[in-house]
Amino acid sequence: MIKPIGSDELMPRFVYDDAEHDKLSKEAEGLPSVVISSAAAGNAVMMGGGYFTPLTGYMNIADAMGCAENMKTTDGKFFPVPVLNLVEDASAIQGAKRIALRDPNVEGNPVIAIQDVAAIEEVSDAQMKTMTDKVYRTDDTDHPGVKAFNSVGRFAISGPIQVLNFSYFSTEFPDTFRTAVEIRNEIMERGWKKIVAFQTRNPMHLAHEELCHMAMDRLGCDGLVIHMLLGKLKKGDIPAPVRDAAIRKMVELYFPANSAMVTGYGFDMLYAGPREAVLHAYFRQNMGATHFIIGRDHAGVGDYYGAFDAQTIFDEEVPAGAMDIEIFKADHTAWSKKLNKVVMMCEAPDHEKDDFVLLSGTKVREMLGNGIAPPKEFSRPEVAQILIDYYQSLES
């Protein structure tokens, strides 16, 4: 099985031992505490589940700057984005060596992790600008990722963490949320050797489904992990439970038995385009995937990134030998009226735009909201019905 990045084994930061967990939970009640940002909580969940192996905690400014500028910490560990615990006010924890981190996304702000405080540093305007520019390739505050990153505070609390729970993900998505540890275990149980992962924050239409089949066939994979983001999205994106139901219906009806897993992870979308594509590949290797599909405008938003920047970054910027996972580079897929099947558009050079069934997201949402299923060349009818029910519920 493919090794995790920078380690022979996964290094989950979740405290699995019951006695130790109880002890730490009691200790947390008496520690100075701070309510962290949603992004920092997502980082804790990802470290807890082993996805960010070999990271043990939140970065200091020097490591965060190194990751922003050249994807490496000061001691040479590869990581594609800063992993920070930024807060607006650190006065309640000044001088503390050990603190409780409280979850902003669960009522009552329960403790999500305990952190050993290595340092509390104030991030300068210049450092924030550098990290923003390098990771997001823009400082436009209309970019949802830029806005979120620059709105959580300037005090960086660094140091290792011990994770006590997986926030709302394990309770709200018990059938879908999985740690990297759990996914690796299931891959072994299923006997898969070559595994391709597919990232999604949206329901999967026919073109997405066929892209997964294409990747599996061309790579000779015996398993597909559909790995959906369960954290915060931008306004207008379809909620995770609806996406989950739609994807499960598609897999149930259109994939052979023991060929696809439907799973999810707890993290807020960055919308960082190329850098987020590298991060996505990073934790897919850690969860056991040997291959990862990256298509047009992966993890992008608006017009901030070129259509294939999320593919070329692996050739141009990722340090050589940093990851073992292989990238399956895909173009936009759509139904060809000429060939009567879904194809990658780059593989149909004799086609004009009108030879494909293409619908804008706005048009699809309008159709679904009016109870009209998109054509069968665009969406499976059973999937479309789930989405119709969701959009019509918004009107009632």
Positions marked catalytic: 201-202
Query: Strand pairing partners for 120?
Result: 157
- Whether the CB-CB separation of 284 and 189 falls below 8 Å is answered with no
The identity of residue 161, as a single letter, is: I
- Whether the CB-CB separation of 51 and 295 falls below 8 Å is answered with no
5 torsion bin: left (phi>0), alpha (psi -120 to 50), beta (else): beta
Peptide bond into 54 cis (omega under 30): yes
Q: Give the separation between CA 129 and CA 131, rounded to whole angstroms.
A: 6
Residue pointed to by tokens 């390098």: 134
- Whether the CB-CB separation of 163 and 15 falls below 8 Å is answered with yes
The identity of residue 354, as a single letter, is: D
At 71, give phi and psi (nearest 5°).
Answer: 65, 30
String of DSSP letters for 326-361: EEEE---EEEETTTTEEEEGGG-TT--GGGEE---H
Residue pointed to by tokens 């309770």: 171
Query: Strand pairing partners for 101?
Result: 34, 113
Cα four-point dihedral sign 257, 224, 219, 375: positive
* Percentage helix, strand, coil for the chain under 3-state DSSP, each rounded to 5: 40, 20, 45
CA 107 centroid distance within chain: 24
